[in-house]
Amino acid sequence: MYLAGLSWKKAERLLSDGTIAVMPLGSVEEHGPIGPLGTDYLIPEEFARRIEASFPNDVVVLPAMPYGYAPTLTSFPGTIDIGIETLTAVLNGIATGMLRSGVRKFLFLNGHGGNNVALDRVALEIYRAGGQAATIDWWILAGQLNREWIGGHGAGQEAAMMMALRPEWVDRSDLCDAEVNHFSDALRNTHLHQISFGGGFVRMIRDVRDSVPTGGFGGPDESSAATPEWGDRMFDAVTEYIEAFIREFLKLDVGR
């Protein structure tokens, strides 16, 4: 069921401590030269749509939260960063509304790494209120399910998903190789904020436009490797995983 489609009477009847509130969330931000700005919430929203179809009675899908915490991407046109405090406050309000309606289990389908600090804070609040939250970062999960699917940001993995989901929104004519401004020969960016040095990694934060002017970077493949077929395979495999997790999560008794 979709929360947006219920009347309050139905919500009163159907929502319970056995229901899992599934919430997609992401960010509106640059995704490399060809990735749509909405990539991070559109993909989790599609997972939620598929999950609702499989669990129409046990799951309530919440409207997606499109905006997130993306402070290092704001130099790119179109990026919106609502800040960590705002995101945390919004998520807390949503959690409170669901808890008050009797829901105790939450599954956050996250499409953007920057949101994790807020998600962990809210998840702990939910726990302290007698519930239990789970978060799935799909792009990390995809790489765990198949090493060839490891992704970065705005590179092949995300472009492939968007080609499968909204092909008309991915314009390959702007495709280009990632341009990377390394700090030095010894301090090289291996991800947006990850520097390889002496056999290990160091985290060095800067505005992404200074380190990766093209905006897309990471994973074994650049955007040029993206195909809709690769996206379809990831959609299917990750959905299957989430559904298996939901079956286990439904068995948990978290009412305290």
Q: Which residues bind Zn ion (CB under 5 A)?
A: 40
Q: Least CB distance from residue 223 to Zn ion, whole Å?
A: 12
Q: Least CB distance from residue 187 to Zn ion, whole Å?
A: 25
Nearer to Zn ion, 40 or 58 (CB): 40
Any idea what DSSP says for residue 23? E
Q: Least CB distance from residue 28 to Zn ion, whole Å?
A: 10
Q: Least CB distance from residue 44 to Zn ion, whole Å?
A: 10
Using DSSP bridges, classify how beta strands 188-189 and 194-197 pair: parallel, antiparallel or unpaired. antiparallel
Using DSSP bridges, classify how beta strands 59-61 and 20-25 pair: parallel, antiparallel or unpaired. parallel
Tally Cβ neighbours within 10 Å of residue 219.
Answer: 23
Describe the crossing of helices 228-251 and 156-165 by its angle, rounded to 10 degrees.
Answer: 90
Nearer to Zn ion, 29 or 58 (CB): 29
Q: Closest residue to Zn ion, Cβ-based?
A: 40
Nearer to Zn ion, 40 or 45 (CB): 40
**Which of 196, 187, 176, 215 is closest to 78 using CA atoms?**
215
Distance (Å, whole) CA 11 – CA 235: 30
Distance (Å, whole) CA 196 – CA 179: 17
Starting at the edge strand that comes first in sequence, how are the strands of the sheet with 20-25 ordered?
59-61, 20-25, 105-110, 132-137
Nearer to Zn ion, 15 or 70 (CB): 70
Any idea what DSSP says for residue 205? -
**Identity at 150, one-letter amino acid code:** I
Nearer to Zn ion, 28 or 62 (CB): 28
Q: Least CB distance from residue 246 to Zn ion, whole Å?
A: 23
Nearer to Zn ion, 99 or 142 (CB): 142
Helices and strands: H and E segment counts in the chain? 8, 7
CB 66 within 8 A of CB 79: no
Q: Least CB distance from residue 202 to Zn ion, whole Å?
A: 23
Alpha helices in 64-154 (DSSP H): 84-100, 116-128, 138-145
Q: Least CB distance from residue 91 to Zn ion, whole Å?
A: 18
Nearer to Zn ion, 112 or 233 (CB): 112
